[in-house]
């Protein structure tokens, strides 16, 4: 159920008194520069969408005010736990969280109340989640995670660097180094891939634990940036990684399903589409996102994403977005230098570049692609086509088998085995952040 606007703002402002060590210096009544509700200010909404939808978006006062509030809302339970860092060591907080995920809260001696609140919030599955559909969504998603995701994850990762206001924390946390870029890509891939395994999102499954670790990592980033990075200006950037900034990546499968349905003239999902959407919504719930940012119907999903993009101020600077993009596109991802690995890296990079342009920019935004340094060239299109000759037949074949009795069980076992192999390639995901690696200053960010 959607809470009232007054209740939402009360929750936002309560962060100041509930977690004063983290948010005591933040003025939650001041709108940060990153947020815009003016037609005179360009937003991140692509130009062709802005011309069609932005005036209508900004005319809805309550919707705009809700977007403003979510711009200033962190993860209240995970933030409170991360704020214990002055009292507990970094490793102690991680250790207690892992133990609580693996064995339950009773297994953690003298568990702080903040940890109890954190785990309890994740354990309390809301009524709007249909776990049977979540499990079906995971089954259906295994095909994409096994056969498509390894070729497009780099492009999806680049999509988070399109805006300096939302992408700056990634630059500050040392993500520009090649080894760090690869680790973050692999951790992102590992989380979403793990979530599709059978039982992964159940209470004691690896996906549940990974979600808890991701939340703690984000909260530690908020804490360290607000307390250690002197150049971070809340009047410009607001709070680091607000909940609404996690929504686009977390709900991408739901958004793509909604876009596909709307393009075909449908406002309602098929059962298979609904399952994919439900998986996405539950994953995001585990990551701490509120129900309001996780609508269930196609028009509402599109509307929520348009509102987010239509109120986030356009901002691109080369030293933040450009460096992040170049580091991501140039990193060599395979673990060895075999010829097959080099060819795979070359094809995967081109597929990701084409995917990024098609999924996030569109044919009318070539200037943005050029500015970011991800404009596909003839070689990229050629390599992407070659990659598609390998990817698409596998996707189609497994998708067909998933609907055939008996054959679907055999296909599923093969996909699960492939996913486990990929997880080995991605390596063990730590989901941690080292404040010692943070960039101490912000250059040319305003």
Mean pLDDT within 212-220: 94
Does some domain include residue 25?
Answer: no
Does some domain include residue 189?
Answer: yes
Does some domain include residue 43?
Answer: no
Average pLDDT, the chain: 90
Does some domain include residue 282?
Answer: yes
Q: Find all residues with CB under 8 Å of 376, minimum gap 6, and list them.
A: 350, 353, 354, 357, 369, 384
* Exposure of 280 in the CB half-sphere (CA atoms within 13 A): 27
Does some domain include residue 96?
Answer: no
Distances (CA, A) of 108 to 84, 85, 210, 215: 16, 17, 18, 19
Does some domain include residue 16?
Answer: no
What pLDDT digit, counting tens, does each position of 307-331 carry?
999 999 998 888 778 888 888 888 8
How high is the pLDDT of residue 446?
40
Residue 104: Cβ within 10 Å count: 13
Does some domain include residue 19?
Answer: no
Contact of 290 with 69, CB cutoff 8 Å: no
Mean pLDDT within 366-395: 90
Q: Is 443 left (phi over 0), alpha (psi -120 to 50) or beta?
A: beta
Whether the full predicted model's pTM is greater than 0.85, yes or no, is yes
> Containing domain of residue 269, as a range?
54-83+125-430
pLDDT level of residue 444 (50, 70, 90 thresholds): very low
Q: How many domains does the chain have?
A: 1
Q: Is 110 left (phi over 0), alpha (psi -120 to 50) or beta?
A: left
Contact of 283 with 255, CB cutoff 8 Å: no
Distance between CA atoms of residues 348 and 357, nearest Å: 14
Sign, CA dihedral 151-157-158-162, equals positive
Does some domain include residue 423?
Answer: yes
């Amino acid at each position: 159920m959607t809470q009232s606007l007054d209740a939402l703002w009360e929750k936002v402002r309560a962060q100041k008194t509930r977690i004063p060590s983290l948010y005591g210096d933040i003025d939650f009544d001041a709108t940060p520069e990153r947020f815009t509700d003016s037609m005179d200010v360009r937003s991140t909404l692509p130009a062709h969408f802005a011309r069609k939808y932005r005036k209508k978006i900004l005319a809805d006062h309550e919707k705009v005010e809700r977007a403003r509030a979510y711009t200033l809302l962190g993860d209240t339970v995970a933030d409170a736990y991360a704020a214990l860092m002055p009292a507990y060591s970094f490793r102690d907080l991680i250790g207690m969280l892992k133990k609580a995920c693996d064995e339950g809260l009773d297994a953690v001696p003298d568990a702080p109340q903040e940890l109890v609140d954190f785990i309890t919030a994740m354990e309390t599955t809301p009524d709007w989640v249909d776990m049977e559909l979540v499990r079906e969504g995971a089954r259906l998603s295994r095909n994409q995670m096994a056969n498509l995701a390894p070729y497009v994850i780099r492009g999806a990762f680049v999509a988070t660097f399109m805006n300096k206001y939302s992408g700056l924390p990634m630059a500050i946390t040392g993500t520009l180094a090649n080894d760090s870029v690869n680790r973050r890509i692999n951790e992102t891939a590992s989380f979403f891939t793990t979530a599709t395994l059978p039982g992964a999102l159940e209470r004691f499954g690896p996906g549940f634990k990974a979600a808890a670790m991701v939340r703690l990592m984000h909260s530690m980033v908020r804490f360290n940036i607000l307390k250690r990075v002197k150049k971070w200006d809340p009047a410009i950037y607001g709070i680091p990684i607000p909940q609404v900034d996690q929504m686009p990546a977390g709900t991408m499968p739901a958004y793509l399903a909604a876009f596909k349905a709307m393009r075909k003239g449908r406002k309602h999902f098929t059962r298979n589409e609904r399952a994919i959407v439900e998986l996405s919504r539950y994953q995001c719930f585990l990551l701490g996102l509120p129900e309001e940012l996780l609508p269930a119907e196609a028009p509402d999903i599109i509307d929520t994403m348009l509102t987010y993009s239509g109120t986030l101020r356009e901002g691109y600077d080369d030293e933040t977005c450009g460096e992040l993009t170049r580091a991501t596109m140039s990193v060599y991802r395979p673990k060895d230098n075999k010829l097959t690995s080099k060819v795979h890296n070359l094809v995967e990079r081109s597929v990701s570049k084409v995917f990024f342009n098609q999924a996030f920019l569109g044919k009318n935004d070539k200037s943005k692609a050029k500015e970011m340094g991800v404009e596909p060239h003839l070689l990229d299109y050629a390599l992407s086509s070659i990659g598609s000759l390998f990817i698409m037949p596998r996707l189609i074949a497994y998708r067909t088998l998933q609907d055939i009795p008996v054959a679907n069980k055999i296909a599923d076992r093969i996909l699960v085995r492939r996913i486990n192999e990929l997880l080995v390639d991605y390596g063990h995901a730590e989901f941690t952040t080292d404040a010692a690696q943070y960039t101490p200053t912000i250059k040319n960010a305003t």
